[in-house]
Amino acid sequence: MANNFINAVASNIGTTEVVIYTAPTNTKAILIGCNLANKTGSFLPVSLILRKSTGDAYIVKDKRVGNGENEEVMKGNKIILLPGDQLVSISVDDNAFDAIASILSGVA
């Protein structure tokens, strides 16, 4: 299985959860970084969630990001994503955030 660097992109994250990335069947991945950009004119909270078959775990919960600013939520940390794991994001305002998750896919 080949390793692939990818950028998983999600636009217009708002009041409905948005799946940024789902680890494919039979494939592990490493979340290297995740940037959340506030597109609004307001100071808003945003959450990034690791959704596993056993339940959800917040990577960051209700992180307040200024209008027109971005937040790099990983800050040098890495998270292993097992097959079927998802990265999910949600905020309190419609179309408020864009997300870019840097991922190394196909890890043995």
Q: Kindly report, residue by residue over 29-82, the tens digit of the pLDDT.
A: 999 999 999 999 999 999 999 999 999 999 999 999 999 999 999 999 999 999
Mean local confidence (pLDDT), 104-108: 89
Closest CA to 79 of 13, 33, 14, 11: 33
Closest CA to 74 of 59, 85, 61, 88: 59
Per-residue model confidence as pLDDT tens digits over 2-19: 789 999 999 999 999 999
Q: What beta strand segments (E) does the chain contain?
A: 4-13, 18-22, 28-38, 44-52, 55-65, 70-72, 79-81, 86-91, 97-107
Q: Maximum distance among all alpha carbons in the chain?
A: 44
Would you say residue 1 has pLDDT above 80?
A: no
Nearest-angstrom CA–CA distance, 53 and 12: 25
